[in-house]
Amino acid sequence: MSETIQRDARAVFLPAFDTLDFHDVMAPFIEAGGCSVLIGETRSEYVARRMSVERLATESKQAVIDAIDGLRRGQAGLIVAVDQELGGIRRLEGLTPPLPTLREAMQLPADEIEGSCFETARAAKELGITMFLAPIADVVVGKNPWLEGRTLGPDRREVGRIVSAFIRGIQRAGITAVTKHFPGFIDLASDPALVDVSMVRSLDEILENASPFREAVGAGTIAVMAGPAPVAAIDPKNAACTSAKVIELLRGEFGFGGLIVSDDLDAPATMRAQSLIDTAVAALNAGVDLLLVAGGPHLPELCDGVVDAVRQGRLPAERLTEAANRVRHAASHSPESALAACPHHTADE
């Protein structure tokens, strides 16, 4: 039982790295039970919404393939995620055919959006990528500096149309879509990655503008990411990705049965003065399955903290196992087979 908990505690983490130099940290992590990695970007690239000149000049397709293959030797089923957004961050810039620009997507019929996204995803699959942390389904009706330059416009019907086409296209190519950031951050005063901020809008407004998430579930999105800040109308104390009330809304009213992913757990608006370990335990207790964290030598300590929470009774072993099994299922099953079995609903096996 102890070894099972140890492996489960590693399976639920998605460590992010801003370079391809992650083998020394990730190889032992995967051997001990981990099955996910995020090939991320630097903070400056994130802010610029594009990859750096140096990365574009030096990072080759073969380098990405080699880095991923180095991990796959220890894990047959491996989630390899990237930020590959329609309107914002494109981690695979220069490595795959480009996604449509937002302006292009708004002018294209859905089948052409789907076809373009399929081609990008097919090329990503050849590199060894298995998951896009996209599409962004938030419909900003106020202001939101965190999502500036990343959203798909203020028209929720048009956002839903583009989001659905994106999901169908990339999942047909074998890439898992992670629709984000539930329940939709329609107005946020500042960046939750920098300060502790909450969304203060009425529940009616939030649900009205959350229709793209309903359409994403209908389109078969395999995963959904819960947002990094509290939604005061639902749960003023906890960030969306650590809130049982928000996850219950997603599972219940929105009918989503698939993999739930957290946003960055170390964001100030998510941690809210808690430790990272306590934040991870809170997210798991809330019903989140896969926890996004910065990668590094601290990973074993973080996993041990989750194991200790189980032993101390602060996290039910059954909840940890449920989350770990959902992650392992996503790592070892292709989206194409899931869609063929159930084209309009994402359900657990």
**Which one-letter DSSP state was computed for residue 331?**
H
Task: Classify residue 326 by burial, with Cβ atoms within 10 Å: 0-12, 13-18, 19+.
Answer: buried
Q: pLDDT value at position 74? A: 58
Fill in the amino acid letter for 60: S
Block residue for tokens 């969306």:
240
Read off the pLDDT band of 337 (50, 70, 90): low
Each residue's pLDDT tens digit, 281-325: 999 999 999 999 999 999 999 999 999 999 999 999 999 999 999
Task: Classify residue 62 by burial, with Cβ atoms within 10 Å: 0-12, 13-18, 19+.
Answer: exposed
The Cβ-side half-sphere exposure at 316, using a 13 Å CA radius, reads: 7
Q: pLDDT value at position 2? A: 84
- Let me know: does 33 contact 12? Beta carbons within 8 Å: no
Each residue's pLDDT tens digit, 215-272: 999 999 999 999 999 999 999 999 999 999 999 999 999 999 999 999 999 999 999 9
Determine the Cα–Cα distance for residues 181 and 262; give it in Å rounded to an integer. 9
Query: Which strand (E) or helix (H) includes residue 3?
Result: helix 2-11
Residues 64-87, buried b or exposed e (16+ Cβ, 10 A)?
A: beebbeebeebbeebbbbbbbbbb
pLDDT at 113 over 50: yes
Classify domain 16-340 by CATH architecture.
Alpha-Beta Barrel (3.20)
Q: Model-level pTM greater than 0.75?
A: yes
The Cβ-side half-sphere exposure at 200, using a 13 Å CA radius, reads: 5
CA distances, 334 to each of 175, 312, 347 (Å): 7, 36, 14
pLDDT at 96 over 50: yes
Each residue's pLDDT tens digit, 126-163: 999 999 999 999 999 999 999 999 999 999 999 999 99
Q: pLDDT value at position 80? A: 97
Q: What are the residue ranges spanned by the domains of the chain?
A: 16-340
pLDDT at 60 over 50: yes
